[in-house]
């Protein structure tokens, strides 16, 4: 159902003694525009695994030129999806895993903080804040700052499975599934830089797949075992999930979401980029609600 092949490994030129002893996993598909910036920031990381989905551009050649290990992933539906499959299947060389997207960049400050953080024997995972750039502009408002459990010990954290019955129309990688750790977690101070949009056309295409998935998840009757609990008093991810469930039940919720992000969260201070971002978030919610309606009609 899923196939993989390893590309030739190109040794990194960085001195071994300076390497950050973590394995970075980067899922990609046609990311030639974003990947060089991401990989350039990882030159002092000991192992980088690029998990490709048959890219038609120069993604694989770029990854190999930076010394990354390239692995091909073919998705035919079901679970696990891309990143969990990589963690379950591939030989991970190091005790710590860092999950990045191709449009994310690790700063030197974050790298140094990770070097110290992984020495703490009492913590098995760390949440990292995303510093979001949209259309080239840093969004300081719009409720655009969020945290992900991106760094964790190998074998002691995994993605929750929110939907087992999935197909290729819902993207081949985890969307709003979160990593759940088996023990204590903490927050890192320095953020990841996240360049959210390469082009609006690509953004719209990806979020159409995301809304397919989200509509299926939100129209379920029962949740899967092992799924992260939605809680108003939990982590940021748990609060967001709780609020999202409540918001989707309200009439006119896409408009309410736009007003919340653009007005209450001062998104208007982020200029045109903030207006477009808040509008697109509301439109995606409208698409998801419309697809929920479509699914319920098909069942009746």
Q: What is the pLDDT tens value at each position of the chain, 300 positions in all?
A: 344 443 333 334 444 457 999 999 999 999 999 999 999 999 999 999 999 999 999 999 999 999 999 999 999 899 999 999 999 999 999 999 999 999 999 999 999 999 999 999 999 999 999 999 999 999 999 999 889 999 999 999 999 998 888 888 888 999 889 999 999 999 999 999 999 876 888 889 888 989 999 998 888 866 676 788 888 888 888 888 888 888 888 999 999 999 999 999 999 999 999 999 999 999 999 999 999 999 988 887
Q: Which residues of 278-287 are buried (b: 16+ CB within 10 A; e: fewer)?
A: bebbbbbbbb
What dotted CATH number matches 16-299?
3.90.550
Instruction: Check if the beta carbon of residue 237 is closer than 8 Å to that of residue 243.
Output: no
Angle of helix 271-299 relative to helix 200-218, nearest 10 degrees, comes to 40
To 5 degrees, how large is the angle CA 103–CA 247–CA 165?
Answer: 60
Question: Residue 224 carries which DSSP code?
Answer: P
How far apart are the C-alpha atoms of 274 and 295, rounded to whole Å? Answer: 32
Q: How far apart are the first and last CA of the chain?
A: 32
199 sits in the region (left: phi over 0; alpha: psi -120 to 50; else beta) called beta
């Amino acid at each position: 159902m899923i196939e993989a092949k390893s590309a030739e490994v190109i040794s990194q030129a960085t001195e071994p003694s300076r390497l950050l002893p973590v394995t970075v996993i980067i899922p990609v598909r046609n990311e030639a525009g974003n990947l060089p910036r991401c990989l350039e920031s990882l030159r002092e990381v000991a192992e980088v695994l690029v998990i490709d989905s048959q890219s038609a551009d120069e993604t694989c050649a770029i990854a190999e030129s930076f010394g990354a290990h390239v692995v091909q992933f073919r998705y035919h539906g079901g679970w696990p999806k891309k990143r969990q499959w990589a963690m379950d299947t591939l030989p991970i060389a190091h005790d710590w895993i860092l999950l990045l997207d191709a449009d994310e960049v690790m700063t030197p400050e974050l790298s140094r903080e990770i070097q110290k953080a992984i020495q703490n024997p009492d913590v098995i995972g760390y949440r990292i804040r995303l510093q979001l750039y949209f259309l080239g502009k840093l969004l300081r408002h719009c409720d655009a700052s969020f945290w992900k459990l991106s760094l964790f010990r190998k074998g002691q954290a995994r993605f929750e499975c929110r939907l087992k019955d999935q197909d290729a129309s819902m993207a081949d990688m985890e969307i709003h599934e979160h990593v759940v750790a088996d023990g204590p977690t903490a927050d890192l101070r320095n953020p990841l830089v996240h360049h959210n949009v390469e082009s609006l056309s690509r953004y719209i295409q990806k979020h159409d797949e995301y809304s397919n998935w989200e509509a299926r998840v939100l129209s379920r009757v029962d949740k899967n075992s092992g799924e992260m609990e939605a809680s108003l008093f939990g982590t940021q991810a748990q609060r967001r999930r709780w609020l999202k469930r409540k918001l989707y039940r309200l009439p006119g919720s896409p408009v309410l979401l736009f007003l919340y992000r653009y007005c209450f969260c001062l998104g208007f201070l982020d200029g045109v980029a903030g207006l477009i971002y808040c509008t697109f978030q509301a439109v995606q919610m409208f698409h998801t609600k419309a697809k929920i309606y479509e699914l319920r009609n098909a069942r009746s």
